[in-house]
Amino acid sequence: MLLQLATWPEVETYLESSTAVVVPIGSTEQHGPNGLIGTDAICAETIAREMSSRIDVLVGPTLAVGMAQHHLAFPGSIALKPSTLLALVRDVVESLLCHGFSHLYFLNGHGGNVATVGAAFSEVWSARSFAGSSRATPRLRLRNWWTGARVMALSAELFGDAEGSHATPSEVSLSWYAHADAVKDVSLTPEQAPDGVIRDAADYRRLFPDGRIGSNPGLASVAHGERILAAALEDALEDFQRFTEAD
Ligand code: NI
């Protein structure tokens, strides 16, 4: 069930049998010359929606803007500061906790979100600790879809070290599978982008002039995207089940 397409009585009924919810989180940022700006949000949302078609789980709205300050030298990128994202995630968590949700599973499409979302979870737990609260402890998890065992094995098989770390052929393929009408036919020079560290926006554009890091998304295809999605779905379902059954 998708929260955006449900009514409040439906959510109330859902809570009688489950208190788990999946929240896709991504980013709106450049993904090189042939990757869609919405890639990170599209990937997380696509996998989460597939989860809801396989199991009875509520999927919340996609948080489609993330901590992406380092992409701001490329037009179209929209970023939240770490402090803004922290406040956003914390408010989303607290809202869901108000209704009795206990297990909040953030399915993540963007590496830049990881540290800040982790800090937001710490803020939620910290507020309870300092208040001496003995109410039920919220179970909060951030899961990067691309780190599952099946996805990692498949991306290694399909792309090897051309996977890189930003604008990867895996994520570009998956976003193209979700939006086949938006596939871009662009030649990339060099084929494989340079590697390096991320700091601020001007530094990023100087080091990675076309936006990619270490990747060759010229290898991306809709057909690969279908396989990546299938692998990511199995990884996510397995991890989500472990999360909800842990305690
Ligand atoms: Ni990405």
* pLDDT tens series, the chain, 247 aa: 999 999 999 999 999 999 999 999 999 999 999 999 999 999 999 999 999 999 999 999 999 999 999 999 999 999 999 999 999 999 999 999 999 999 999 999 999 999 999 999 999 999 999 999 999 999 999 999 999 999 999 999 999 999 999 999 999 999 999 999 999 999 999 999 999 999 999 999 999 999 999 999 999 999 999 999 999 999 999 999 999 999 7
* Helix extents (H) in the chain: 8-17, 39-54, 82-98, 114-130, 149-159, 169-178, 201-207, 222-246
Distance 82 CA to ligand 1 centre (A): 17
The domain that contains 130 carries what CATH number? 3.40.50.10310
Distance 241 CA to ligand 1 centre (A): 25
Burial class from Cβ neighbours inside 10 Å (0-12, 13-18, 19+) for residue 103 reads buried
Looking at residue 17, its pLDDT comes to 97
Looking at residue 21, its pLDDT comes to 98
Distance 165 CA to ligand 1 centre (A): 8
- Please check whether residue 172 is in contact with residue 31, taking contact to mean a CB–CB distance below 8 angstroms: yes
- End-to-end, the C-alpha distance of the chain in Å comes to 23
Distance 109 CA to ligand 1 centre (A): 6
- Please check whether residue 101 is in contact with residue 16, taking contact to mean a CB–CB distance below 8 angstroms: no
pTM metric for this prediction: 0.98
Angle, CA of 79, 112 and 102, to the nearest 5°: 100
Distance 110 CA to ligand 1 centre (A): 5
Angle, CA of 158, 189 and 154, to the nearest 5°: 10
DSSP, res 81: -
Distance 32 CA to ligand 1 centre (A): 10
**Domain boundaries, position 88:** 3-245
Looking at residue 247, its pLDDT comes to 73
Distance 159 CA to ligand 1 centre (A): 16
Distance 42 CA to ligand 1 centre (A): 10
Distance 203 CA to ligand 1 centre (A): 18
Q: How many domains is the chain built from?
A: 1
| Residues near 8 by beta carbon (within 8 Å), at least 6 away in sequence | none
Distance 70 CA to ligand 1 centre (A): 13
Distance 136 CA to ligand 1 centre (A): 34
Distance 104 CA to ligand 1 centre (A): 22
Distance 6 CA to ligand 1 centre (A): 29
Rounded CA separation 56/46 (Å): 16
